[in-house]
Amino acid sequence: MKRKLDEKGVPSPVKGDIEASRNAGFESLGLDTRLLQAIAKEDFVGPTEVQAKAIPLALSGKDILARSKTGSGKTAAYALPVLQSILRKKGGDKNKKSVSALILVPTKELAQQITKAVTSLAAFCAQDVRTINSTQNVPEAVQRTQLAELPDIVVTTPSRAANHLNDGALTVESLTHLVVDEADLVLSYGYEEDFNVIAKAIPKGVQTTLMSATLTTEVDTLKGLFCRDPIVLDLKEKESDAGGVSQYVVRCSEDEKFLFAYVVFKLKLIKGKCIIFVADIDRCYRLKLFFEQFGIKSCILNSELPVNTRIHIVEEFNKDVYDIIIASDEHEALGQKTVSRKDDNDGLDRNGESATNGNAEEGEDDETSTKRRKRQKGSKKAKEYGISRGIDFRNVACVLNFDLPLSSNSYTHRIGRTARAGKSGMALSFAIPEDQYRKTKTLFVPSTRLDEKVLASITEDQKTKGKEVKPYNFDMKQVNVFKYRMNDALRAVSSVAIREARTRELKQELLKSEKLKRHFEENPQDLKNLKHDSDLRPARVQQHLKHIPDYLMPSGGAQAMVKDVGYVGLRKDGPENRIRRIRAMKRGRGGKNKQSGKGRNPLKTFRVGGKK
């Protein structure tokens, strides 16, 4: 076959040559041909460092403790040896049924993500290997039936695994592999008792793999529970990979946070997709309603939404349907021992509730005790939810810390959502100086009192890694002309509007998640048409705020708003979503009601001479 020549006169490779070169590294690992077919289908260029080192050790039966950064291919590093072992064990006999592998993860979203990845790698041996995700929102009877069929791989959270073991639904007598993903994170979610239950139930000699982004005391605890003299792979990121995130900080008052966020997104100072981290759920809706005043589209991600909705939002974000996600980092906000901080004046934690822990004490009234029980229930609910770690957000151009985290470690995990796979990214953080704390009582959150200390810790931590957190300097003369618009928008976003928006969206998403689940399974295209960034509209939307008059724009254009800071995002400006563009065109022409004249521009149809 004659090949085409490239610009340098070299024959271009054919498809078979490309697939052969991609599989060359994995073929040397001795994997089953069906797994190699799946790897080729997934377009893996070659094994990453953690895959090249961990897979041979796992295939030889060694316990492994691997430290590798997020996005380095840890899932395939432990999934491929597990699948290889199951295929060897069955030897082509499909009737051999037993739970061979248990994969434990901290969140439901990560469980869904890993289940999808394992299923893809087992695409060409699906009849021999069956994987289930026991964190799905299905009735308990259905879960018991699924587990009674003895799937080969069970992906779940530690709490679900412990519950299934206690009630006899999960059988682990034949278990050969135990995997704990995000090992440095699971114990901080409050799974200590669950892991003790699991450790007592699993048989001795089970091969254990612990995957982690950092090596902490929590990882040492898990190592002592499950591992037998594990081989430690400390794969630290290279300096060339670590310099992809440009980090900036803005010291500002509470109301200026909203002003700067408006300027940044309305004038498109940051291009590409962005994740905005806020302190709590109410903060999510306040910021979304604020953006709606200016026609800025965004969607919300928090533990209050159904798990099916959260997974769908992440998938649509990765497909470039949404550009902005407002996420509440509730792992910090709810009941964590490293996070519980009291405000000097009102004794509130980050969610505005009493920060006292423990059971009802002597002399405590019923109302206080009830509030405590509600808070503990909410904390338990949020254990299996997390945004800053685990979830695979793709092509994130910027991480905006609207509210600073409470530790430098959490900051590192947040900004790890951007600048992945060799791409560049940006992290922008807002910090409240001590003299500006609580100046705007309707907007403040108690945790901002610690911003100066946390920022100092973050700066020092990044300095030890050879990175710098630079100031992001706004030209305040240019920015202040937008201040009256910001005040108008904030006045419309009242506490009542936030409460109504929160209730309204929760009802809508529950309806979509529960009643339409069967319909979506049969009609997957309809699920793609759902929009999570539509306007909530409980607040009075002032249409004039959506457009910026020319006299407000700086003479040097949008970039004149910022001094000495330049940044180009991952995506170029392009056409909007096709459906949105068509709808906008219809609105401009008056839609379907052409004869009625609705939607027309009266200035374009005005006749000076009148009718003849």
Indicate whether 572 belongs to any domain. no
Indicate whether 269 belongs to any domain. yes
Strand, coil or helix: what is 203?
coil
- CB neighbours of 142 closer than 8 A, spacing ≥ 6? none
For 400-461, give the secondary structure using H, E and C: EECCCCCCHHHHHHHHCCCCCCCCCEEEEEEECCHHHCCCCCCCCCHHHHHHHHHHHHHHHH
**Quick one: 386 and 258 in the same domain?**
yes
Under the banding of pLDDT at 50, 70 and 90, the label for residue 501 is confident
Least confident window among 184-193, 225-234, 536-545: 536-545
- Dihedral (CA of 360, 365, 370, 371) sign: negative
Indicate whether 3 belongs to any domain. no
**Quick one: 190 and 287 in the same domain?**
no
User: Is it the case that residue 429 has pLDDT exceeding 90?
Assistant: yes
Least confident window among 168-182, 233-247, 407-421: 233-247
Give per-residue pLDDT as tens, 150-202: 999 999 999 999 999 999 999 999 999 999 988 877 776 778 888 889 989 99
Show which of 540, 563, 586 is a domain's final residue. 563
Q: Determine the pLDDT at residue 324.
A: 93
Least confident window among 191-195, 261-265, 437-441: 437-441
Under the banding of pLDDT at 50, 70 and 90, the label for residue 538 is low
Least confident window among 14-18, 65-69, 405-409: 14-18
Indicate whether 38 belongs to any domain. no
More confident residue, 187 or 602: 187
User: Is it the case that residue 475 has pLDDT exceeding 90?
Assistant: no
Q: What's the average model confidence in pLDDT over 44-64?
A: 89
Q: Determine the pLDDT at residue 271.
A: 83
What is the H or E stretch that residue 299 is in?
Answer: strand 299-301
Q: Determine the pLDDT at residue 567.
A: 47
Q: What's the average model confidence in pLDDT over 460-464?
A: 89
**Quick one: 459 and 485 in the same domain?**
yes
Show which of 213, 234, 255 is a domain's final residue. 234
Q: What's the whole-model pTM score?
A: 0.60
Under the banding of pLDDT at 50, 70 and 90, the label for residue 381 is very low
Least confident window among 49-53, 55-59, 347-351, 522-526: 347-351
Least confident window among 157-166, 414-423, 562-571: 562-571
Q: What's the average model confidence in pLDDT over 37-49?
A: 86
Q: 425 lies in which domain range?
A: 241-354+381-563
Indicate whether 249 belongs to any domain. yes
- CB neighbours of 355 closer than 8 A, spacing ≥ 6? 340, 341, 342, 347, 348, 349
Give per-residue pLDDT as tens, 312-361: 888 888 888 889 999 987 655 443 333 333 333 333 333 333 333 333 33
Q: Determine the pLDDT at residue 602.
A: 58
Q: Determine the pLDDT at residue 447.
A: 84
**Quick one: 338 and 199 in the same domain?**
no
Indicate whether 586 belongs to any domain. no
User: Is it the case that residue 570 has pLDDT exceeding 50?
Assistant: no
**Quick one: 134 and 278 in the same domain?**
no
**Quick one: 337 and 203 in the same domain?**
no
Total domains in the chain come to: 2
More confident residue, 363 or 575: 575
User: Is it the case that residue 373 has pLDDT exceeding 70?
Assistant: no
- CB neighbours of 256 closer than 8 A, spacing ≥ 6? none
Q: Determine the pLDDT at residue 335.
A: 37
User: Is it the case that residue 141 has pLDDT exceeding 80?
Assistant: yes
Strand, coil or helix: what is 209?
strand
User: Is it the case that residue 224 has pLDDT exceeding 70?
Assistant: yes
Indicate whether 569 belongs to any domain. no
Give per-residue pLDDT as tens, 72-113: 788 999 999 999 999 998 876 667 788 999 999 988 888 888
**Quick one: 499 and 529 in the same domain?**
yes
What is the H or E stretch that residue 579 is in?
Answer: helix 578-589
3-state percent helix, strand, coil for the chain, nearest multiple of 5: 45, 10, 40
User: Is it the case that residue 7 has pLDDT exceeding 50?
Assistant: no
Give per-residue pLDDT as tens, 126-140: 888 999 999 887 888
Indicate whether 21 belongs to any domain. no
Q: What's the average model confidence in pLDDT over 53-71?
A: 86
Radius of gyration in angstroms for the set of CA atoms belonging to the chain, rounded to a whole number:
27
Under the banding of pLDDT at 50, 70 and 90, the label for residue 404 is very high
Closest CA to 39 of 73, 8, 6: 73
More confident residue, 41 or 184: 41
Number of H helices, E strands in the chain: 25, 16
More confident residue, 361 or 562: 562
**Quick one: 162 and 121 in the same domain?**
yes
Letter string b/e over residues 587-612, b meaning 16 or more CB atoms within 10 A of that residue's CB: eeeeeeeeeeeeeeeeeeeeeeeeee
Q: Determine the pLDDT at residue 274.
A: 94
Q: Determine the pLDDT at residue 78.
A: 93
Rounded to an integer, what distance in angstroms lies between the CA atom of residue 114 and that of residue 530? 24
Show which of 521, 539, 563 is a domain's final residue. 563
* Average pLDDT of the chain, as a whole number: 76
**Quick one: 225 and 245 in the same domain?**
no
User: Is it the case that residue 219 has pLDDT exceeding 70?
Assistant: yes
Q: What's the average model confidence in pLDDT over 284-305?
A: 89
CATH value at residue 464: 3.40.50.300
**Quick one: 469 and 436 in the same domain?**
yes
Q: Determine the pLDDT at residue 151.
A: 92
More confident residue, 2 or 78: 78
**Quick one: 205 and 69 in the same domain?**
yes
**Quick one: 247 and 298 in the same domain?**
yes
Q: Determine the pLDDT at residue 590.
A: 56
